[in-house]
Amino acid sequence: MKRFAGLFLAVALVAALWSVGWYFASSQVSAAIAQFAANEGSAENPRLTCARSAVSGFPFRIDVTCEEATVLADDVTVTVAGIKASVQVDNLTHLLASAIGPVTYADAFYGRSNRLTFSALQASFRITTSDILKGLSGEGWRIARVSVVGNGLDWVDTIGEDLPVAKASHAELQIGDIPELHDKAAGTAALAIYFVGKDVASPIYDLVDADGEAQLQLTGLPDDLRRFGDADLLPAWQAAGGKLEVVRVNATDGDDLLDASGTLGLDASHRVEGQLTYTNRGIRERLAPFVNPMILSVMSGLPEADGTFKQALQFANGSLLIGGIPLFQLEPLY
């Protein structure tokens, strides 16, 4: 009987501590929401307000909902019909989120206004650390995986009458850590980036039924997420030997295609350097109404046996060159 009583007390104590911990965490989240709502609404301190908000999910999750969300940052206002974010209390480094449309974007300074509707929009964000002690104090965290997936997307310009900009049945962004390229001593990490768009239609860009994907790799990035906001992020990236490798960019629309790959970085004068090679078909016809025929001929490149054209885009000595012909000078990025 005493053993049973002791076990009961132990379970009750754990449950009580768990409850206290959950309600403390939920109160911190509620305080953070209130703080965002009190911000001045500048680019540095954007304001987030919710018509209705709640923190729920006890005892195993923390669910945060924000209905009729409005974000104000200087002249930019973004509204979302609804946002939900969730974490498991035993896995606080993995955040799941979803949104209810529509999403509207308005820029009072430039006079822009857009609306995005969708049938589904979900995101997942997970972080990791190779140093547990640093991780416990919130340091040393790096991106493990970021995923954003949308279906039934419809983007409309609303500055006057609704003007269709683009539609897609599916769009997906995946960003993942490359563990073997993490340099703990140098404090750098690398990310693999993958993007895909399906059934893209855009009257503005003369796309009817386009599919596209991009596979990129970024090296020399900070391995602590807090450093992504540093003013010297770009110089630090260059000093670490950071590169953007375009593994492959491929897009098709009917018989037309574009396929590109290459590597880019920064030179000693802080200007883009590197080379992209690309194969194309149909680009000449699409751009003919807008581009000088001589420049268009150079952009298309040399014909291949399969009816495609091949060309190289070079960034060298502060100039952009196509097929070895300089087109214009490049400005330093910092």
Are 140 and 94 in the same domain?
A: no
Residues, the chain, total? 334
* Domain assignment of residue 149, yes or no: yes
Q: Is the pLDDT of residue 287 over 80?
A: yes
Are 277 and 304 in the same domain?
A: yes
Are 130 and 246 in the same domain?
A: yes
* Domain assignment of residue 113, yes or no: no
DSSP element (H, E) containing 21: helix 2-38
Would you state the pLDDT for residue 193?
98
* H-helix segments, 51-148: 132-136
Domain boundary among 108, 143, 173: 108
* Domain assignment of residue 190, yes or no: yes
Output DSSP code: residue 263.
E
- The more confident residue out of 15 and 118 is 118
Residue 34: domain span: 1-108
Over residues 62-105, the pLDDT tens digits come to 999 999 999 999 999 999 999 999 999 888 889 999 999 999 99
* Domain assignment of residue 233, yes or no: yes
Over residues 14-45, the pLDDT tens digits come to 777 777 878 888 889 999 999 999 999 998 89
Are 17 and 128 in the same domain?
A: no
User: Which candidate, 196, 194, 207, places its Cα nearest to that of 166?
Assistant: 207
Instruction: Please state, in angstroms and as integers, the Cα–Cα distance from residue 193 to each residue in 182, 202, 213, following that order.
Output: 16, 24, 10
Domain boundary among 49, 82, 108: 108
How big is the CA angle at 15 (ends 14 and 17), to the nearest 5 degrees?
65
Instruction: Give the number of domains in the chain.
Output: 3
Residue 52 CA to residue 190 CA, distance in Å, equals 39
Q: DSSP of 221-256, one letter per residue?
A: EESSGGGGG-TTHHHHHHHTT--EEEEEEEEEETTE
Would you state the pLDDT for residue 6?
63
Domain boundary among 88, 108, 128: 108
Are 130 and 245 in the same domain?
A: yes
Are 122 and 141 in the same domain?
A: yes
Are 227 and 267 in the same domain?
A: no
For the chain, the farthest-separated pair of C-alpha atoms sits apart, in whole angstroms, at: 94
